[in-house]
């Protein structure tokens, strides 16, 4: 049986807007194995991005445990979470979120600035990451000089440059044309298959979800099937 990387136990999350309490996630139990490629689907407001944020350590639950690789990150303070994210999580956003004044190389290097790596080592890591995404010849290009698909590749290189075990992607193809989207999904799939990254991807797009090993449906803060039982597209199994 595959080793469990992520274990959510009775996780509840609600937001407060003025005096109104808005429930988002309600007593979620979820187990995700190491090396899994999971798609999170559901209508807008169902809580899929919130669930992703909790797993990625950029948000905290109101109750419950978020155990990643044996550590309950819900108990971490802000400093500990920042350090943990830098080591263990790679982020891929819908709008790429590259820093416009930095070149592709500098954008990918950004997370490495938080490490004690030498300049030479950082360069090696960055060039490796850029070569994985097929953009080693674009290191000096700025985001405005790249296509959307290329920007997302640079963002993926930035996500993997620290060699994290977990990649979280929030609508990674939401802003791309069909061809670029397919290329990005193939790349993400490759990261899962060749580099054994555990990937959790939020998407509205069934075609994107079809690249995942499993699809988890969220509806009004509830998993359609709890306890780590996924709806698995037949094509992948």
Q: Applying CB under 8 A, which of residues 113, 178, 229, 232 lies at the interface with another protein?
A: 113
Q: Applying CB under 8 A, which of residues 5, 37, 46, 59 lies at the interface with another protein?
A: 59
Residue with tokens 């899929």: 48
Residue with tokens 């010849």: 137
Residues 161-188, buried b or exposed e (16+ Cβ, 10 A)?
A: bbebbbbbbbbbbebbeeebbbbbbebb
Q: Applying CB under 8 A, which of residues 1, 20, 101, 234 lies at the interface with another protein?
A: 101
**Which residue stretch of 3-11, 22-30, 108-116, 184-192 sits at the interface with another protein (rule: CB under 8 A)?**
108-116
Are the C-beta atoms of 132 and 180 separated by less than 8 Å?
A: no
Please report whether residue 105 would count as binding another protein according to CB under 8 A.
Answer: no
Q: Applying CB under 8 A, which of residues 14, 33, 76, 110 lies at the interface with another protein?
A: 110
Are the C-beta atoms of 162 and 87 separated by less than 8 Å?
A: yes
Rg (CA), the chain: 18
Residues 173-212, interacting with another protein (CB under 8 A): none
Binding site for another protein (CB under 8 A): 49, 53, 56, 58-59, 78-79, 82-83, 85-87, 91, 93-95, 97, 99-102, 106, 110-111, 113-114, 119, 158, 170-171
């Amino acid at each position: 049986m595959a080793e469990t990387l992520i274990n959510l136990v009775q996780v509840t999350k609600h937001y407060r807007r003025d005096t109104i309490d808005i429930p988002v996630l309600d007593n979620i139990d979820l187990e995700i194995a190491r090396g899994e490629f999971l798609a999170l689907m559901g209508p807008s407001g169902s809580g899929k991005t919130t669930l992703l944020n909790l797993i990625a350590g950029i948000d905290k639950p109101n109750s419950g445990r978020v155990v990643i690789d044996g550590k309950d990150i819900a108990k971490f303070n802000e400093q500990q979470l920042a350090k943990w994210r830098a080591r263990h999580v790679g982020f891929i956003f819908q709008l790429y979120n590259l820093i416009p004044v930095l070149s592709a190389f500098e954008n990918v290097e950004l997370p490495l600035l938080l490490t004690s790596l030498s300049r030479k080592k950082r360069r090696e890591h960055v060039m490796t990451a850029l070569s994985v995404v097929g953009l080693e010849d674009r290191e000096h290009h700025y985001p405005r000089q790249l296509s959307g698909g290329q920007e997302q590749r640079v963002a993926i290189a930035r996500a993997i440059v620290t060699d994290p075990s977990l990649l979280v992607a929030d609508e990674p193809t939401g802003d791309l044309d069909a061809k670029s989207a397919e290329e990005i999904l193939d790349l993400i799939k490759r990261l899962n298959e060749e580099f054994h990254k555990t990937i959790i991807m939020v998407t509205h797009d069934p075609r994107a979800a079809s690249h995942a090993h499993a699809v988890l449906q969220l509806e009004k803060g509830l998993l359609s099937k709890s306890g780590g039982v996924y709806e698995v597209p037949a094509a992948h199994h």
